[in-house]
């Protein structure tokens, strides 16, 4: 293929894909509000995706995906904490704690060792409340329990 022909093909491809890429980007960065700790925090999926990069070495999100060092998080907002089949939790994370909520996850992500003393998660936490809101929205979207009003 000649250089001129390749350039024309690239221009045509960009022209055809530009509207699709633009709509996808705007949906992913569209802000929504998330109720956390008695306040409405602004959040978006793209910021949540970037923040979740800190978590994905230990956690998977999708239905039927395997556990890593930490449990798979599918339906974490529906099922009791510490109840993912086939994962051995630390005694601090028990089903009687109930399912995760925006508030309980916000407290846990801020400082896991303080929120649930004795848990084995070796993660310092996310000190920025906005970053925690982004992660909560991202987790809700990607674990099968979207936050109302925050879908892309």
Same domain, 13 and 70: no
Q: Are residues 55 and 89 in the same domain?
A: yes
* Residue 73, token pair as written in the block: 């998080």
Amino acid 15: pLDDT: 42
Q: List, for the chain, all residue ranges whose pLDDT scores fall below the cut of 70.
A: 1-29, 151-152
Q: What tokens appear for 13 in the block?
A: 């491809």
Q: Quote the CA–CA distance of 87 and 5 in Å, as a whole number.
A: 55
**What is the structure's pLDDT at 14?**
42
Report the pLDDT value the prediction gives residue 4, as an integer from 0 to 100.
55
| Residue ranges making up the domain that contains 8 | 1-30
Residue 44 and residue 21 share a domain: no
User: Would you say residue 150 lies in a domain?
Assistant: no
Say yes or no: 90 and 22 in one domain: no
> Do residues 64 and 116 share a domain?
yes
Residues 69, 72, 73: CA angle, nearest 5 degrees: 125
Q: Looking at residue 29, what is its pLDDT?
A: 55
Which pLDDT belongs to residue 74? 97
């Amino acid at each position: 293929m000649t250089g001129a022909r390749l350039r024309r093909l690239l221009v045509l491809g960009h022209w055809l894909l530009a509207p699709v890429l633009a709509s996808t980007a705007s949906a992913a960065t569209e802000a929504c509000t998330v109720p956390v700790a008695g306040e409405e925090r602004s959040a978006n999926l793209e910021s949540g995706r970037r923040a979740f990069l800190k978590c994905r070495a230990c956690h998977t999100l999708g239905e039927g995906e395997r556990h890593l060092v930490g449990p798979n998080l599918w339906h974490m907002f529906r099922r009791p904490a510490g109840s993912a089949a086939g994962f051995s939790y630390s005694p601090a994370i028990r089903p009687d704690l109930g399912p995760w909520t925006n508030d309980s996850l916000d407290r846990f992500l801020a400082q896991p060792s303080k929120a649930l003393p004795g848990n084995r998660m070796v993660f310092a936490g996310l000190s920025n409340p906005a970053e925690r809101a982004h992660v909560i929205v991202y987790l809700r979207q990607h674990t099968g329990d979207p936050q109302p009003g925050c879908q892309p």
